[in-house]
């Protein structure tokens, strides 16, 4: 039976098989090698490992006891003599009867090494991203009391590194500055920009604690312009200064399209804290940042957020939206319940960072008396 098959193959196919650079062998149903092509013969002479492999291994579908697998083309990858091979084993039928298996070995060492190198590079990059994300999380202020301010924050980064940032800075015994910023885009470049913003604003107020929000934004824009970045880059920010002596808040907005929301405890009302001002960019001229002043009372709360909170979408691609966020904040005044509502609404993979911060104000005790 075997001889009949080999004779038939020799008449039609052996010349073709011998001309192939790929290795080819034919194995009968009992696992005996019936034929190997010239390429495999030459390789077997040079490699003891290959001889051992051919003697000890039959095609994968032949080794299986499952008849359906034995009659199916099977592909596997093996390391032989320090090189990687893709081995394709296909059943041979002669006169409608199963007569054996033809096995083709293709050298895929180059492709495999490229995959390994790419995997290692990606793993290294992912390790770097995880590290950057960890650093970003660590530089956010802790949720605690800062003078008359009770700060709470929730930061849920997406799969990438973030361009979101918020921080609180002590100016003196009775004044604190708070800001929230959102850098265009994602990735390492955006994360580095958040570091620049944090270091720059901290340095500005360290040297000029008397600065107003508008002064700080103009100086920040000046430092950003001095970076001399070739490509168009920008970020938005909202910055306010709390003064505990007169329970006041003065703030400016640098193009931040997510204006904070103020809940007035005495009136049970919510409003947006709007102020005019352009984003900070290397292609936009400096702006005159409008400043707004208001008084705060015991129990007033301010919600800060970035666009990831309002752009979270459900399975119908409908966004959570600014109005739904306002309604949720006005109803609960609780940052955890707000996040739960956003999380319950969201469907699928989180596309953007979700950053929420809430300040609850405690009125100056001297004023209360």
- Report the distance separating Cα 211 and Cα 339, nearest Å: 34
| Mean pLDDT lowest among 19-33, 37-51, 124-138, 143-157 | 124-138
| β-bridge mates for residue 355, sequence order | 155
DSSP 142: P
In this prediction, residue 3 carries a pLDDT of: 52
In this structure, which CATH number among 3.60.40.10, 1.10.10.10, 3.30.1180.20, 3.30.70.1880 belongs to the domain 141-361? 3.60.40.10
Half-sphere exposure of 57 (CA within 13 A, CB side): 16
Structure token digits, residue 86: 């893709």
Q: Would you call 247 helix, strand, or coil by DSSP?
A: coil
From the list 178, 126, 122, 123, the residue with the least C-alpha distance to 149 is 178
Do residues 238 and 180 touch, judged by C-beta distance below 8 A? yes
Which pLDDT tens digit goes with each residue over 257-301? 999 999 999 999 999 999 999 999 888 876 789 999 999 999 999
Q: Could you tell me the residue ranges of all domains in the chain? A: 5-112, 141-361
Q: pLDDT band at 192, cuts 50/70/90?
A: confident
Which pLDDT tens digit goes with each residue over 85-141? 999 999 888 777 888 889 999 999 999 888 888 888 777 766 776 767 777 778 899
Average confidence (pLDDT) over 148-163: 85
CATH class of the domain at 5-112: alpha beta
Q: What is the mean pLDDT of the chain?
A: 88
Total length of the chain = 369
DSSP 144: S
Structure token digits, residue 145: 């009391």
């Amino acid at each position: 039976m075997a001889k009949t098959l080999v004779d038939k193959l020799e008449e039609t196919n052996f010349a073709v098989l011998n001309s192939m650079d790929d290795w080819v062998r034919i194995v009968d149903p009992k696992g005996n090698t019936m034929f190997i092509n010239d390429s495999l013969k030459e390789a077997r002479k040079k490699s003891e490992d290959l001889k051992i492999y051919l003697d000890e291994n039959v095609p994968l579908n032949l080794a299986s006891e499952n008849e359906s697998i034995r009659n199916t083309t099977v592909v596997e990858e093996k390391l032989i003599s320090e090189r990687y091979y893709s081995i394709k084993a296909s059943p041979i039928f002669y006169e409608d009867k199963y007569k054996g298996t033809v096995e083709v070995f293709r050298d895929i060492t180059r492709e495999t090494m490229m995959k390994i190198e790419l995997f290692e590079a990606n793993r290294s990059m992912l390790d770097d991203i995880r590290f950057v994300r960890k650093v970003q999380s660590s530089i956010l202020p802790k949720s605690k009391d800062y003078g008359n301010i009770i700060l709470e924050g929730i930061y849920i980064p997406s799969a990438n590194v973030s361009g979101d940032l918020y921080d609180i800075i002590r100016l003196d015994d009775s004044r604190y500055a708070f800001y929230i910023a959102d850098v265009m885009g994602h990735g390492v470049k955006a994360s580095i920009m958040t570091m620049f913003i944090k270091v720059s604003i901290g340095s500005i107020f360290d040297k000029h604690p008397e600065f107003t929000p508008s002064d700080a934004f103009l100086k920040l824009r000046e430092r950003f312009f001095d970076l001399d970045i070739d490509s168009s880059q920008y970020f938005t920010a909202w910055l306010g200064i709390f003064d505990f002596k007169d329970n006041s808040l003065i703030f400016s907005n640098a193009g931040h399209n997510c204006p904070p929301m103020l809940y007035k405890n005495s009136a049970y009302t919510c409003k947006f804290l709007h102020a005019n001002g352009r984003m900070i960019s290397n292609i936009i001229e400096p702006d005159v940042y409008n400043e707004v002043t208001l008084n705060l009372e015991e129990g007033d709360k301010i919600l800060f957020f970035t666009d990831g909170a309002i752009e979270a979408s459900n399975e119908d691609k409908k966004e959570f939206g600014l109005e739904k966020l306002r309604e949720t904040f006005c109803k609960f005044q609780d940052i955890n319940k707000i996040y739960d509502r956003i999380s319950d609404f969201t469907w699928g993979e989180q596309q953007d960072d979700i950053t929420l911060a809430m300040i609850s104000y405690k009125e100056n005790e001297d004023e209360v008396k």
